[in-house]
Amino acid sequence: MDKIKLNVLGISYSQTQTGAYALVLTEEQGERRIPIIIGGFEAQSIAIQLEGLKPPRPLTHDLFHNFATTFKINLKEVIIYKLEEGVFYSKLICTNGGEDVTIDARTSDAIALALRFKCSIYTTEEILSKSGIVIDLEQEKEQGMQSEPHKSTSSSTTQSGQYKDMETEELEDLLDEAVKNEEYEKASVIRDEINRRKDS
């Protein structure tokens, strides 16, 4: 099977299902995107990892990662291998240093784990040709989707305006407090404002 490497482009609110999110993957050597509808918990878990936030208590995917690494099990790669009736099927390729083991997983869980293990995500040309779409940059901007891989998408650029008059030290304290209280959406907005100042 010829594998095509994917990157995580970001997450946006689903326009088709209330309370759901669209996880968007993009082929590394191409312009096609794969939108996958996922639940709120999985979206939060992926977004936290993309944003580089560290929750005060481990989420389920963090626990799985900690458990696996404690027992010297590594996730080598994730493969999205089947698309049936709109549902994506994935498998985890794990190793304990001796043999590879394949484990079935929901695609949202597989991506959340791939980000934590920093492993590659692959799919097939068949799945990309069935589900891949090409979005031009203007359309991406309108939908609030950033075009850089491994960046979470949100309305943080507009929301960060409420923090623009605060000192950077105040923002860093607010960021710590938001993470401590597990207010990750607020934390990502504050973090974006701090990063914007560093870049300017």
**What pLDDT digit, counting tens, does each position of 55-84 carry?**
889 999 999 999 999 999 999 999 999 999
Find the angle CA(55)-CA(61)-CA(65) to the nearest 5 degrees.
100
Domain 3-153: give its CATH architecture: Roll (3.10)
CB 82 within 8 A of CB 88: yes
Quick one: tokens of 79? 């493969």
Tens of pLDDT, residue by residue over 90-136, are: 999 999 888 999 999 999 999 999 999 999 999 999 999 888 887 65
Q: Domain spans of the chain?
A: 3-153, 155-200
Calpha distance 66→57 (Å, rounded): 12
Total-model pTM: 0.73
Let me know how long the chain is.
200
